[in-house]
Chain A
Amino acid sequence: MRIRLTVNGAGVEADIEPATLLSALLRERLGLTGTHQGCDTGQCGACTVHVDGRAVKSCLMLAAQADGRRVLTIEGVAEGEALHPVQRAFRDRHALQCGFCTPGMVMTALDLVGRLDTADEGAIRHGLAGNLCRCTGYRPIVEAIAESIRARRGDG
C-alpha cells in the first residue's frame, strides 16, 4: 500500500507492507536511526516519536496508521546546529549516560513540557513512566524537564 505523511516537516511517500511498523519505516526506509528500537514490545519508550504533536511509541504503531499525519523524530528537534532548549537542558544537567534512551526521553519530555503547567516532580515522573533508562539516570532527566518547564514559563 502507498502512504503519504510528513516527517520532520518534509513530505514523504512510501510503498509499504501493511504490517510495517512506524519505527521500521523511520529507521529502515528513511534512515532516521535516531529513533531507537529498544524492546520492540512497547515497554521501553526508546522509539518514542511525535505524531500530530503527541508522543507515541513508534514500535506500537503501524506506519499505515501514520498515513496523512505529521511525524516528528529526534532528528527534527534541533534547528540546524542549535539544540532545542529541552536538548540543551538535558546536556546541561547531564541527563544521559549511555544515551540509548535519550531520543525517546527527549521526545516524551517535549510532550510533557508542552502539557504540564508546573514543574511538579511527581507529575514529571508520572509522565516519564513509559521511558526506561537503565543507567539509573532519572534524577537529572527529571531535573532537565523541570528546568525546561520553568524556562518556558519564564520563571526559570
Chain B
Amino acid sequence: MHPFRYLRPESAAEAVAARGEDDETRYLAGGQSLLPALKLRLAHPSVLIDIARLPELRTLRRHQGGLEAGAALTHAEIAGLDDIPALAALAGSIGDLQIRNMGTLGGSLAHNDPASDHAAAVLGLGATVRTDRREIAADGFFLDMFETALEPDELIVSVNFPRPRRAGYAKVRNPASGYPVVGVFVAETDGGIRVAVTGAGGCVFRLPDFEAALADNFRPGALAGLATPVNGLNRDIHATAEYRAHLIGVLAGRAVERCR
C-alpha cells in the first residue's frame, strides 16, 4: 500500500468537510473492497476517512412502511434483521462470515461492484438512498460499473427499504470469489413487480419484460419463453454472455419460488 493519513472524524458533517472532491481522499467503511484495492495499488489515496463508527451511520429505524438501515451497518447486522426476510437472506449470503462482519451496506452501494448483492436488493425493493444532502431513488443511483449518482464527497447515511408484499433472491456464486456470477432479486412491492439483476452487466439493472410477465401471473412459469438480450452482458473467464442470459431466466424463476 502507498502511505496515507488516517482520519476518524466524530460526525458525518466533519467527515464530509474532510473529504474534498478529488480522489486524494477516500471514505473507508468496512474496507473489504477498498483494502484489497489499496494493496493492489489500484487506488492510492493520500487520506482515508474512517466513517464506520459514525453514530449517524449506525442507526436502525423501523417504521410502518419498512426499515431505514444505517449505511455503516454490516452485512452480518443486516442478515440478523427479520423485517424483510429476503433482504436478510441476501445479506447473509454475501462473501463469507468474516467479510459480513466487516463489510457495510453503504460501502457496498458506494463501491457499486458489478456483482454487488446489496445493489440487487436496493434496486429490487425500490429503496431510497439517503445521503448527507439528499435522497436518491434506487432507479437513479446505480449508473455503471463502479459508478453511482453520488458526488465525490457525498456520504451515504442510510437506506430506506420499503417492506415488500413478498420478495426473493437467487444467485449462482463464483466458487472462488464468492461473488454472484448472476443474481436475481424479485419483489412484489406496493409500486408493482420489480426484477433486479446483478453480476450480469456493468451494474445492477431491471428487466421490464420479466416484471410485466410476473405482474400478469406471479409464477415461475410466466417467465417461460422470455429471453434476455445477450448484448451488453458481461463475458469473462467465468461465464459467457449467453450463459449469463440463461442464468437470468433460471434464477428469476427460482427467486419467484422463494418469494415470501
Residues of A that sit less than 8 Å from B by CB: 1, 17-19, 40-42, 45, 48, 54-57, 60-62, 64-65, 67, 108, 111-112, 127-131
Contact = CB atoms under 8 A, between A and B. Distances in A.
Given A19-B1, A42-B32, A54-B76, A64 B101 contact: no
Interface residues on B, range: 20 to 34
Interface stretch (B9-17, B91-99, B153-161, B252-260): B91-99
**Residues of B contacting A: mostly:** mixed
B39 A67 contact: no
Nearest to A47: B98
Contacts of B48: 18, 62
B6 interface: yes
B96 A60 contact: no
B36 A60 contact: yes
Nearest to A42: B36
B213 interface: no
A55 B97 contact: yes
Given A42-B99, A65-B52, A129 B178 contact: yes
Contacts of A42: 32, 35-36, 99
Contacts of A112: 97
B58 to A, nearest CB: 13
Given A62-B31, A64-B6, A129-B178, A41 B98 contact: no
A84 B32 CA distance: 30
A42 B100 CA distance: 13
B6 A62 contact: yes
Given A61-B31, A65-B50, A1 B98 contact: no
B229 interface: no
Contacts of A57: 98-99, 102
A67 B8 contact: yes
9 contacts: A1-B6, A17-B3, A18-B5, A41-B36, A45-B98, A55-B97, A60-B102, A127-B97, A131-B96
Contacts of B50: 64-65
Contacts of B52: 65
B102 A61 contact: yes
B153 to A, nearest CB: 20
Q: Which 7 A-B pairs have the closest CB atoms?
A: A130-B96, A18-B6, A54-B101, A129-B96, A19-B1, A64-B6, A130-B98
A60 B3 contact: no
B63 to A, nearest CB: 28
Nearest to A17: B3
B51 to A, nearest CB: 11
Given A54-B76, A65-B31, A65-B50, A45 B101 contact: no
B146 interface: no
A19 B101 contact: no
B98 A56 contact: yes
Contacts of B99: 42, 57, 60, 130
Given A60-B35, A65-B31, 19 more contacts: A19-B4, A19-B38, A42-B35, A48-B98, A56-B98, A60-B31, A60-B36, A60-B98, A61-B31, A62-B6, A62-B28, A62-B48, A111-B97, A128-B97, A130-B95, A130-B96, A130-B97, A130-B98, A131-B96
Contacts of A17: 3
Contact of A18 (B3, B39, B98): B3
